């Protein structure tokens, strides 16, 4: 399954209720699972992003749907990156080099 890295920042609403972030993370994982998305890791970070989520989704559309759901709650805004594992990168290089 494709892997995605979501870089999340708390909104004003999200940071005001920072004490609820562990419960919100659990709710995110449960909502993601309902759509067939697996949360591989979730990290709270210091720096330009507040949270980093690593997820596997069946496709781009499903990953986007999960992030739209969590964004609609108003606690975070996301920037999402499609990540490629070693085997995927080997196939990409093989295609690029003919």
Q: Looking at residue 93, which CATH number applies to its domain?
A: 3.30.70.920
Residue 50, φ and ψ in degrees, nearest 5: -90, -30
Task: Give the pLDDT score at 47.
Answer: 97
On the question of pLDDT at 98 being above 90, the answer is no
34-89, pLDDT tens digit by residue? 999 999 999 999 999 999 999 999 999 999 999 999 999 999 999 999 999 999 99
Q: Which domain holds residue 57?
A: 3-97
Residue 57, φ and ψ in degrees, nearest 5: -135, 155
If one counts the domains in the chain, the total is 1
Q: How many helices (H) and strands (E) does the chain have?
A: 4, 4
On the question of pLDDT at 30 being above 90, the answer is yes
* Rounded-to-integer distance, Cα 93 and Cα 96, Å: 5
6-16, pLDDT tens digit by residue? 999 999 999 99
Contacting residues for 75 by C-beta, under 8 A, at least 6 apart = 10, 11, 13, 14, 17, 24
Supply the angle between the helices 21-34 and 60-72 in degrees, to the nearest 10. Answer: 140
């Amino acid at each position: 399954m494709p892997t995605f890295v979501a870089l999340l920042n708390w909104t004003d609403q999200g940071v005001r209720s920072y004490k609820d972030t562990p419960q919100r993370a659990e709710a995110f994982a449960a909502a993601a699972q309902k759509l067939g998305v697996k949360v591989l890791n979730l990290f709270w970070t210091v720096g330009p992003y507040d949270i980093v989520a690593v997820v596997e989704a069946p496709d781009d559309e499903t990953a986007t749907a999960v992030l739209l759901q969590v964004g609609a709650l108003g606690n975070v805004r996301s920037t999402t990156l499609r990540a490629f594992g070693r085997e995927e990168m080997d196939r990409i290089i093989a295609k690029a080099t003919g």
